[in-house]
Amino acid sequence: MSDRMVGRLSVYRRLLTGLRAESVQNVYSHQLARMAGCTAAQVRRDLMAVGYTGTPTRGYDVLGLTESIGRYLDPPEHQHVAIVGVGNLGRAILAFFANRRPKLSIVAAFDSDPAKVNRVIHGCRSYPIDQLAEVVAREKILVGIITVPAPEAQKVADLLANAGVRGILNFAPVAIHVRDRVYVEDMDITVSLERVAFFARQDKHSGKEMVK
Amino acid sequence: MSDRMVGRLSVYRRLLTGLRAESVQNVYSHQLARMAGCTAAQVRRDLMAVGYTGTPTRGYDVLGLTESIGRYLDPPEHQHVAIVGVGNLGRAILAFFANRRPKLSIVAAFDSDPAKVNRVIHGCRSYPIDQLAEVVAREKILVGIITVPAPEAQKVADLLANAGVRGILNFAPVAIHVRDRVYVEDMDITVSLERVAFFARQDKHSGKEMVK
DNA sequence: TAGATTGTTAATCGATTAACAATC
DNA sequence: TAGATTGTTAATCGATTAACAATC
């Protein structure tokens, strides 16, 4: 299971949820492909991998496929996330994810600024950073989001990894190093914006969209 | 020039800037590789592509390499960016980029909410959305950032593309479709978080970091 | 049946990795 | 010189694309 495929499955599911809201019952691979920005063959291969089969006449059943992707992508039980750094970006992410996914929710926020802790921000409790290990263990948090300034990112990554977190989504503009068992994904807005600016100046480019 | 390579060059430059601040004059490929989270051979191949050569004894000259990457990545003249959607995320991005890059700056923000326009937010002027085409043309804006809710993203993408923007960084959780000459990069926080959550549950995974 | 779509294999493509002579 | 690093080519790897018989 490649990281790209997991990303596409996540996109398919969102599209399927939208179709269900419109009472659409069946969908063909080429329809999903057009909406997701990939090819029909890629959709079919991905769905094959999650073990869901369609039929030539009706394509894929929207409800059944949604559930099948959910069994694949979703945690068996509710999965808890922590966010470290309650600045502008941290608060934006808290607002964005508030009550969005039933099985994946941010249950704790941490900051080193005393003015930002022991509060409830967009429905999420905030704690002093030195309570991180304790809260991560108590709340069974497996995923951490880093939204602190670059100079503090590595320190925070070490705290999270030592507390038992197994996945990190890093927004700090710096590469962090953790032990091999921790999955790290960097979302570097500066790098992305520089890349878009670079290709915006090129007359020709691949033209394909990048799903991060 | 692949999109991944452009991303790595952006990372190298940031690292080199840090080294310069510490008065480091020379750097070897394996040092850059360790900091950037890639391989030494990859660093050498990337630097070869930008046309900068090192020497076996001294490695690469930090200052010269920084300038060489800049000539490659940076626009010949100041490049202007617009952001559409002044919600939590939009304001966070404005705060993040305020006075950060000398040659790449967000010069205009747009929103459909009358309460959010005709103001200065983190140093950036905000306009009503219906002035987008006019302002984009006047300010020679080539890049747009979309931070509106998903249902409005396609409409905003059309507005930007029609106004002459050539690159779009899309934070809305939906795929947008634009003509081929416009480069689109999606930063989908939901997809990324679901992916991290997925791999956090796996016992084994690639372990390699993903630079987006 | 006819026709469009599916599951699945083979071919293609591009990026990464390994290897090594040349170099300072 | 000796030794580590460089530029560069070949081999590997994985993902995407193309193709097509099977199927409803």
The CA distance from A55 to the nearest CA of chain B, in Å, is 26
Which residue from A minimizes the CA distance to B78?
A: A197
pLDDT for B113 beyond 90: yes
Q: What is the pLDDT of residue A207?
A: 43
pLDDT score, position A203: 67
- Mind spelling out the 3-state secondary structure of B17-60? HHHHHCCCCEECHHHHHHHHCCCHHHHHHHHHHCCCCCECCCEE
B201 contact residues in A (CB cutoff 8 A): 75, 79, 142, 166
Å between CA of A33 and C1' of D21:
23
What's the pLDDT tens digit per position in A134-183? 999 999 999 999 999 999 999 999 999 999 999 999 999 999 999 878 99
Give the pLDDT confidence score for residue A212 in this predicted structure: 47
Contact, A57 CB vs strand C, < 7 Å: yes
Backbone angles phi, psi at B145, to 5 degrees: -115, 130
pLDDT at A210 over 70: no
Q: What is the pLDDT of residue A100?
A: 78
* Dist CA B170 CA B158 (whole Å): 12
User: Which bases of strand D have any atom within 7 Å of the beta carbon of a protein residue?
Assistant: 3-9, 14-19, 22-24
User: pLDDT tens, A7-60?
Assistant: 999 999 999 999 999 999 999 999 999 999 999 999 999 999 999 999 999 999
Per CB-CB distance under 8 Å, the chain B contacts of A194 are: 6, 10, 73, 101, 104
The 10s digit of each residue's pLDDT in B80-91 is 999 999 999 999
Q: Which residues of A touch B35 (CB under 8 A)?
A: 175
CA–CA distance from B20 to each of B14, B48, B66 (Å)? 10, 21, 9
Answer whether A209 sits within 8 Å of B88, measured CB to CB: no
Average pLDDT over residues B115-124: 96
Using the structure, give the distance in angstroms from the CA atom of A30 to the C1' atom of C15, rounded to a whole number.
27
- Does the beta-carbon distance from B209 to A184 stay under 8 Å? yes
Q: Is the full-model pTM beyond 0.85? A: yes
- Percent of chain A topping pLDDT 70: 95
Q: How many CA atoms lie within 13 A of A162 on its CB side?
A: 11
Joined tokens for residue B11? 């990372």
In angstroms, the CA B192 to CA A114 distance is 30
